[in-house]
Protein backbone atom coordinates (compact mmCIF):
# COMPACT_ATOMS: atom_id res chain seq x y z
CA UNK A 1 0.00 0.00 0.00
CA UNK A 2 1.47 3.34 -1.06
CA UNK A 3 1.57 6.16 1.46
CA UNK A 4 -0.81 9.05 0.72
CA UNK A 5 -0.51 12.01 3.07
CA UNK A 6 -3.74 13.58 1.82
CA UNK A 7 -5.72 10.40 2.47
CA UNK A 8 -4.95 10.39 6.20
CA UNK A 9 -7.61 11.41 8.72
CA UNK A 10 -5.61 14.28 10.18
CA UNK A 11 -8.39 15.38 12.53
CA UNK A 12 -8.66 11.91 14.07
CA UNK A 13 -4.97 11.79 14.91
CA UNK A 14 -4.95 15.40 16.08
CA UNK A 15 -7.73 14.50 18.51
CA UNK A 16 -5.41 11.79 19.85
CA UNK A 17 -2.68 14.41 20.30
CA UNK A 18 -5.20 16.65 22.07
CA UNK A 19 -5.88 13.83 24.55
CA UNK A 20 -2.17 13.87 25.38
CA UNK A 21 -2.29 17.66 25.75
CA UNK A 22 -5.18 17.29 28.20
CA UNK A 23 -3.04 14.93 30.31
CA UNK A 24 -0.29 17.54 30.40
CA UNK A 25 -2.75 20.27 31.42
CA UNK A 26 -4.19 18.08 34.16
CA UNK A 27 -0.69 17.73 35.59
CA UNK A 28 0.04 21.46 35.44
CA UNK A 29 2.26 21.22 32.35
CA UNK A 30 1.94 23.24 29.14
CA UNK A 31 -1.01 21.66 27.28
CA UNK A 32 0.88 20.22 24.32
CA UNK A 33 0.52 16.68 23.00
CA UNK A 34 2.02 14.72 20.13
CA UNK A 35 1.45 11.40 18.39
CA UNK A 36 3.49 9.68 15.71
CA UNK A 37 1.62 7.61 13.14
CA UNK A 38 2.77 4.98 10.65
CA UNK A 39 0.36 3.17 8.33
CA UNK A 40 -2.63 4.50 10.26
CA UNK A 41 -1.31 3.20 13.60
CA UNK A 42 -0.03 5.27 16.52
CA UNK A 43 3.54 4.20 17.26
CA UNK A 44 4.40 6.88 19.82
CA UNK A 45 2.55 9.44 21.89
CA UNK A 46 3.33 11.79 24.71
CA UNK A 47 2.79 15.21 26.17
CA UNK A 48 4.88 18.04 27.55
CA UNK A 49 6.69 17.05 30.75
CA UNK A 50 8.96 20.05 31.44
CA UNK A 51 7.98 20.41 35.08
CA UNK A 52 7.64 16.80 36.17
CA UNK A 53 10.94 15.81 34.55
CA UNK A 54 12.66 19.09 35.40
CA UNK A 55 13.90 19.22 31.84
CA UNK A 56 13.67 21.98 29.26
CA UNK A 57 13.82 19.38 26.49
CA UNK A 58 10.91 17.23 27.68
CA UNK A 59 8.66 18.55 24.91
CA UNK A 60 5.74 16.44 23.70
CA UNK A 61 7.35 15.84 20.30
CA UNK A 62 10.72 14.84 21.81
CA UNK A 63 9.05 12.49 24.28
CA UNK A 64 6.97 10.85 21.53
CA UNK A 65 10.04 10.42 19.30
CA UNK A 66 11.98 8.84 22.16
CA UNK A 67 9.09 6.48 22.83
CA UNK A 68 9.01 5.42 19.17
CA UNK A 69 12.77 5.58 18.62
CA UNK A 70 13.40 1.94 17.67
CA UNK A 71 10.42 1.89 15.32
CA UNK A 72 11.49 5.18 13.74
CA UNK A 73 14.98 3.81 13.12
CA UNK A 74 13.41 1.16 10.88
CA UNK A 75 10.36 2.90 9.40
CA UNK A 76 10.56 6.71 9.58
CA UNK A 77 11.24 7.09 5.87
CA UNK A 78 8.18 4.96 5.08
CA UNK A 79 5.63 7.69 5.70
CA UNK A 80 5.62 8.43 9.42
CA UNK A 81 3.67 11.53 10.41
CA UNK A 82 4.01 13.50 13.62
CA UNK A 83 0.90 15.28 14.88
CA UNK A 84 1.42 17.97 17.47
CA UNK A 85 -1.12 20.30 19.01
CA UNK A 86 1.22 23.29 18.69
CA UNK A 87 3.65 24.03 15.88
CA UNK A 88 6.92 22.31 16.79
CA UNK A 89 9.65 24.55 18.19
CA UNK A 90 13.05 24.87 16.55
CA UNK A 91 14.54 22.09 18.71
CA UNK A 92 11.68 19.70 17.99
CA UNK A 93 11.60 20.47 14.28
CA UNK A 94 15.34 19.80 14.15
CA UNK A 95 14.82 16.47 15.92
CA UNK A 96 11.95 15.62 13.56
CA UNK A 97 14.26 16.21 10.60
CA UNK A 98 17.07 14.17 12.17
CA UNK A 99 14.60 11.34 12.93
CA UNK A 100 13.65 11.22 9.23
CA UNK A 101 10.00 12.03 9.86
CA UNK A 102 9.00 13.77 6.63
CA UNK A 103 5.44 14.79 7.48
CA UNK A 104 4.37 17.28 10.17
CA UNK A 105 0.80 18.19 11.10
CA UNK A 106 0.18 20.75 13.82
CA UNK A 107 -2.73 22.57 15.36
CA UNK A 108 -1.94 26.01 16.76
CA UNK A 109 0.70 28.15 15.02
CA UNK A 110 3.49 29.64 17.12
CA UNK A 111 3.88 33.20 15.84
CA UNK A 112 6.51 34.03 18.46
CA UNK A 113 9.13 31.38 17.66
CA UNK A 114 7.98 30.93 14.03
CA UNK A 115 9.71 27.58 13.49
CA UNK A 116 8.16 27.25 10.05
CA UNK A 117 10.80 29.70 8.88
CA UNK A 118 13.26 26.80 9.18
CA UNK A 119 11.58 25.35 6.09
CA UNK A 120 13.47 28.00 4.12
CA UNK A 121 16.72 26.14 4.86
CA UNK A 122 17.71 23.76 2.06
CA UNK A 123 18.52 20.91 4.44
CA UNK A 124 15.16 21.14 6.20
CA UNK A 125 13.21 21.63 2.97
CA UNK A 126 14.74 18.45 1.53
CA UNK A 127 13.54 16.45 4.55
CA UNK A 128 10.08 17.85 5.30
CA UNK A 129 7.68 16.86 2.52
CA UNK A 130 4.46 18.06 4.18
CA UNK A 131 4.04 20.77 6.82
CA UNK A 132 0.34 21.24 7.51
CA UNK A 133 -0.95 23.63 10.17
CA UNK A 134 -4.27 24.71 11.59
CA UNK A 135 -5.72 21.23 12.17
CA UNK A 136 -8.12 21.60 15.13
CA UNK A 137 -6.21 24.76 16.09
CA UNK A 138 -9.11 26.16 18.10
CA UNK A 139 -9.27 23.04 20.26
CA UNK A 140 -5.60 23.51 21.09
CA UNK A 141 -6.15 27.22 21.70
CA UNK A 142 -9.02 26.39 24.07
CA UNK A 143 -6.70 24.21 26.17
CA UNK A 144 -4.23 27.07 26.41
CA UNK A 145 -6.98 29.58 27.18
CA UNK A 146 -8.12 27.43 30.12
CA UNK A 147 -4.67 26.51 31.42
CA UNK A 148 -2.03 28.92 30.12
CA UNK A 149 -3.70 32.04 28.69
CA UNK A 150 -0.45 34.02 28.85
CA UNK A 151 1.27 31.45 26.60
CA UNK A 152 -1.61 31.60 24.12
CA UNK A 153 -1.29 35.37 23.95
CA UNK A 154 2.46 35.11 23.27
CA UNK A 155 1.96 32.55 20.49
CA UNK A 156 -0.86 34.48 18.84
CA UNK A 157 0.67 37.95 19.11
CA UNK A 158 4.14 36.81 18.13
CA UNK A 159 5.92 38.59 20.96
CA UNK A 160 6.85 37.95 24.55
CA UNK A 161 6.16 40.79 26.99
CA UNK A 162 9.62 40.37 28.55
CA UNK A 163 11.54 40.08 25.28
CA UNK A 164 13.95 42.73 24.08
CA UNK A 165 12.66 44.93 21.26
Residue 93 lies in a domain: yes
Predicted pLDDT at 6: 81
pLDDT over 90 for what percent of the chain?
77
Residue 9 lies in a domain: yes
Predicted pLDDT at 45: 98
Predicted pLDDT at 74: 87
Domain count, the chain: 1
Residue 62 lies in a domain: yes
Residue 106 lies in a domain: no
Terminal Cα-to-Cα distance of the chain (whole angstroms): 51
Residue 165 lies in a domain: no
Task: Return the SS3 of 21.
Answer: helix
Predicted pLDDT at 116: 82
CATH code for the domain of 92: 3.40.140.10
Average pLDDT over residues 88-108: 96
Catalytic positions = 61
Residue 108 lies in a domain: no
Give the integer Cα–Cα distance in Å for 138 and 91: 24
Residue 59 lies in a domain: yes
> Do 82 and 34 meet the contact criterion of CB atoms below 8 Å apart?
yes
Question: Does the pLDDT value for residue 142 go beyond 60?
Answer: yes
> Do 163 and 154 meet the contact criterion of CB atoms below 8 Å apart?
no
Average pLDDT over residues 1-7: 71
Predicted pLDDT at 2: 58
Its domain, for residue 96, covers 5-100+113-156
Residue 162 lies in a domain: no
Q: How confident is the model at residue 8 (pLDDT cuts 50, 70, 90)?
A: confident
Amino acid sequence: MAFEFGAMDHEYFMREALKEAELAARDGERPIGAVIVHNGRIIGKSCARHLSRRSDIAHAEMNAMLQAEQYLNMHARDGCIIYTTVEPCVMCLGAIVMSNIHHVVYGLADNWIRPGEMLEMDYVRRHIENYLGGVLAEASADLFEKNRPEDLSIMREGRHPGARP
